[in-house]
Amino acid sequence: MPASRDIFFLMRLARPGSFRSVLVTTLFCGAAAVFAQPQPSPAVAVTGEPVPVRDQTPALPPSLQVVVDGHALPAGSYGLLAQEVAGGATLLSVNADQPLNPASTMKVLTTLTALEQLGPDFTWRTEVHALGPVAEGRLQGDLLIRGGGDPFLLEEHLRNLLKALQRAGIRQIDGDLVLDTSHFAASVSDAPLIDGQTDRAYNVLPHALMSNFQTVTFYFRPAADGHSVEVTAEPPLPNLRIDNRLRQQPGPCEGYQRGVRLDDDPTDPQRVVLSGNFPAGCQQFSLLRSVLTPTDYFDGLFRYLWSELGGEISGGLRSGVAPHTEPLLVWQSPPLADVIKSINKFSNNMMTRQTLLTLGASEAEGPATVEQGADTVAAYLEMLGLESSGLVVDNGSGLSRSTRISPALLNQVLQHGYQSPFMPEFLASLPLNGIDGTMRNRLRQNGMGGQMHVKTGSLDEVAAIAGYVRARSGRYYTVVGMLNHPLADRGPGSELLDALLAWVYQH
């Protein structure tokens, strides 16, 4: 069972005959067998410092107490806080100062920091340099592309970039494709994975020249011969070799991954091996997987799209550094205010990591590091006058065993977000209950649908929420809830946190 049920959707423009016609691909941002670190006792914080122990645990509302009692949740396993906006009355505060694993609700802090530090109109730049003269549509030299960390350089965006390049007068490249990825430190693409599953989309690591989330959708269908299985990949990267060893077997369309196993070839980094027995009863099945290295993926996607547009390139792929001259072309990403909607509504880990690194790059010279990004977040909190002891930002996305933040601090961030001049953009990025994002199937009943902007978080042993509730009275409240417990992701977590949100709504 996936450990995180936060999902995001890759919306691609429709193209006749393509999988992008009305395609919505679901990516799971968690992982099987992802376990939060063993939780400290209620009296000891993650940092090892003593946590103030209350003389008596505050009484829970009856609707929450029945969940706690029913699942025997220890008093120190959860932190809950609800407060009226603009520093108003506190409705509930339980273990609010205890640092806990927030899972993907950490994205609230990362995205608000970016919105206020970079601005809602901030865009990422991808530069294109012609390293030679251009005459009669021919570049006599190499084409260099410098990545600026754009987290949303999807297939259709790169296609439009290449169309702009052709409008600039280049249709044939007599040289290599040269990639400058120096905007981010190389170490950011070597971070350990939370579960070791390198082919899962939720585990894609950041890169200065990330394209199309570094993913391919494999489509499977039984062949007419009754024995083999037809496999297609979208996009059809020319440098991705598929070793298809799948066989048909009689039976209905069911089973984990419909019997399909996908493995990297340890002897060939550009080759994947598909094996297993595929049910003949499946008309079509698809798997979204991360493939290749970021640079090989970009190279393959570039060549596929360049050829599709009628362009030619004679050379290979190599790394390089952009010259200190004006680029021939600059591609701008969508503005940050739009990008954080994809991050928060669908809990996109890679995009959050790219954003944290961009924060680091905005404050320090040289290739950006995760540490610089975390320092920028800490400096932002200090600027706001917020106490951040016990905070562990890690990669900024919450897909981590070590991330920690207290409900009190996350609540203060939400309180500030409501007073921010960019409050409309920030709130609009959060999932609406019963309507969209990771809250689309939660709390639809009893008139509650659409009354809450709430970021969710889930890992094995972790469940969390953080956001805003418009109560029946018309008042607005910030609400934070976290549960760190072996049962958290198995139902009791969402049960407790939904009870919290519903209780606040009644005020």
pLDDT in tens, 292-324: 999 999 999 999 999 999 999 999 999 999 999
Measured CA to CA, the distance from residue 410 to residue 404 in angstroms comes to: 10
Task: Indicate if the pLDDT at residue 30 is higher than 50.
Answer: no
For position 256, what pLDDT does the model report? Answer: 94
Asked if 203 and 241 sit in the same domain, the reply is yes
Tell me how far the alpha carbon of residue 454 is from its chain's centroid.
16
Say if 243 falls within a structural domain: yes
Tell me the pLDDT tens digit for each residue of 386-422. Answer: 999 899 999 999 999 999 999 999 999 999 999 999 9
Tell me the pLDDT tens digit for each residue of 353-393. Answer: 999 999 999 998 889 999 999 999 999 999 999 999 899 99
Task: Indicate if the pLDDT at residue 220 is higher than 70.
Answer: yes
Measured CA to CA, the distance from residue 352 to residue 205 in angstroms comes to: 10
Helical H segments across 386-422, by residue range: 407-419
For position 58, what pLDDT does the model report? Answer: 67
Asked if 447 and 382 sit in the same domain, the reply is yes
Mean pLDDT value of segment 141-156 = 98
Say if 426 falls within a structural domain: yes
For position 5, what pLDDT does the model report? Answer: 38
Mean pLDDT value of segment 245-253 = 96
Say which residue, 40 or 447, is predicted with more confidence: 447
Asked if 97 and 205 sit in the same domain, the reply is no
Asked if 169 and 227 sit in the same domain, the reply is yes
Last residue of a domain, one of 297, 312, 334: 334
Q: Where are the beta strands (DSSP E) in 6-165?
A: 7-11, 24-28, 78-84, 90-94, 125-131, 134-135, 138-139, 142-146
For position 194, what pLDDT does the model report? Answer: 87
Q: Give the strand order in the sheet containing 462-470.
A: 90-94, 78-84, 476-484, 462-470, 452-459
Tell me the pLDDT tens digit for each residue of 57-97. Answer: 568 999 999 999 999 999 999 999 999 999 999 999 999 99
Say if 156 falls within a structural domain: yes
For position 305, what pLDDT does the model report? Answer: 98
For position 365, what pLDDT does the model report? Answer: 86
Q: What is the pTM of this model?
A: 0.88
Mean pLDDT value of segment 178-198 = 92
Burial 383-410 (b: 16+ CB within 10 A, else e): eeebebebbbbbbbbbbbbebbbbbbbb
Give residue 367's domain range.
62-121+335-505
Say if 430 falls within a structural domain: yes
Please tell me what DSSP assigns to residue 259.
G
CATH of residue 66's domain is 3.40.710.10
Say which residue, 133 or 55, is predicted with more confidence: 133
Question: What percent of the chain clears pLDDT 90, i.e. is strictly above it?
Answer: 85
Asked if 155 and 299 sit in the same domain, the reply is yes
Cis peptide before 424 (omega within 30 of 0): no
Q: Give just the sign of the alpha carbon dihedral 467, 469, 475, 481.
A: negative
CATH of residue 156's domain is 3.50.80.20
SS3 423: helix
Measured CA to CA, the distance from residue 308 to residue 302 in angstroms comes to: 10
Asked if 339 and 275 sit in the same domain, the reply is no
Say if 42 falls within a structural domain: no
For position 153, what pLDDT does the model report? Answer: 98
Tell me the pLDDT tens digit for each residue of 252-267. Answer: 999 999 999 999 998 9
Mean pLDDT value of segment 218-245 = 97
Asked if 235 and 140 sit in the same domain, the reply is yes
Last residue of a domain, one of 269, 303, 334: 334
How many C-beta neighbours within 10 Å does residue 110 have?
A: 26
Query: What are the backbone dihedrals phi and psi of residue 46, each rounded to the nearest 5 degrees, phi first?
Result: -60, -30
Which of 93, 104, 98 lies closest to 39 in space, CA to CA? 98
**Confidence class for position 196, pLDDT limits 50, 70, 90:** confident
Measured CA to CA, the distance from residue 188 to residue 344 in angstroms comes to: 22
Compute the C-alpha angle 337/288/458, nearest 5°: 60
For position 195, what pLDDT does the model report? Answer: 87
Task: Indicate if the pLDDT at residue 36 is higher than 60.
Answer: no
Mean pLDDT value of segment 170-184 = 98
Residue type, 351: M
Please give the mean pLDDT across all residues of the chain. 90
Mean pLDDT value of segment 164-178 = 98
Say if 268 falls within a structural domain: yes
Asked if 137 and 108 sit in the same domain, the reply is no
For position 171, what pLDDT does the model report? Answer: 97
Ranges 230-234, 269-273, 352-356, 362-366: which has the least confidence: 362-366
Asked if 198 and 339 sit in the same domain, the reply is no
How many C-beta neighbours within 10 Å does residue 421 have?
A: 9
For position 359, what pLDDT does the model report? Answer: 98
Say if 181 falls within a structural domain: yes
Asked if 329 and 339 sit in the same domain, the reply is no
Measured CA to CA, the distance from residue 232 to residue 213 in angstroms comes to: 19
Name the residue with tokens 């407790």. Answer: 496
Tell me the pLDDT tens digit for each residue of 16-26. Answer: 333 333 333 33
Asked if 449 and 467 sit in the same domain, the reply is yes
Asked if 328 and 341 sit in the same domain, the reply is no
Say if 52 falls within a structural domain: no
Report how many domains make up the chain: 2
Which of 470, 181, 171 lies closest to 309 in space, CA to CA? 171
Last residue of a domain, one of 311, 334, 357: 334
